[in-house]
Amino acid sequence: MVNPILENIRDRRSIAAFETTPIEEETIHAILEAGRWAPSWLNTQPWSFILITDQGIRERISKHVPAVYSPGIMKAPIIIAVCVNPSEDPYHFVEDGAVATQNMALAARSLGLASSWIGVFNLKREKDSAEEKIKEILEVPTTYRLISLLPIGVQKHAPAKLRKKLSELVYRDKFRKSI
């Protein structure tokens, strides 16, 4: 089936290497709007987005993500940090932040850009976790959680499209019979 939304979903990849090509403010605004319009439990919209462009902040953040993502943190024209307030949705805040991240990644793709979803959420809130260290750098209130970082820009290269077959993932009626 040919459909622009389905094509963007299929074409979206996590990109680690970006060009330094600037992104127009109108495009950034459209990507942030996609995050704002993400679904959330009972429409709580518990997210906040931090737009990161400062090189010094990028350098500090890059020390707390897996090395494969450091080039993207350093080169992508923008990084969006997705934060959520668990007090606004104590049961679904992680999913809410994840859906907002996905909406923005798909919006970036639909606008001809690439992104890389960097999950930093730490379930146990360990003091030395990437989440806690990056929250400190970004001055995120302690009551908020940092779900992800989303570097966005023009990709340097396109990785291969590798996916399991649908027949390996889908069952009908019960978790035992494949289609």
| pLDDT band at residue 177 using 50, 70 and 90 as cut-offs | low
Average pLDDT, the chain: 92
Question: Token digits for 120?
Answer: 């930093």
Counting other chains too, the contacts that 118-122 makes at CB distance below 8 Å and 24 or more residues apart are: 118/65, 118/66, 118/69, 118/72, 118/73, 118/148, 118/149, 118/150, 118/151, 119/147, 119/148, 120/64, 120/65, 120/146, 120/147, 120/148, 120/149, 121/94, 121/97, 121/145, 121/146, 121/147, 121/148
Residue-level pLDDT at 166:
85
Read off the pLDDT of residues 56-98 as tens digits, 9 standing for 90 and up. Answer: 999 999 999 999 999 999 999 999 999 999 999 999 999 999 9
Residue-level pLDDT at 11:
78
Residue-level pLDDT at 108:
96
Read off the pLDDT of residues 107-137 as tens digits, 9 standing for 90 and up. Answer: 999 999 999 999 999 999 999 999 999 999 9
What residue ranges define each of the domains in the chain, with the CATH number in brackets?
A: 4-155 (3.40.109.10)
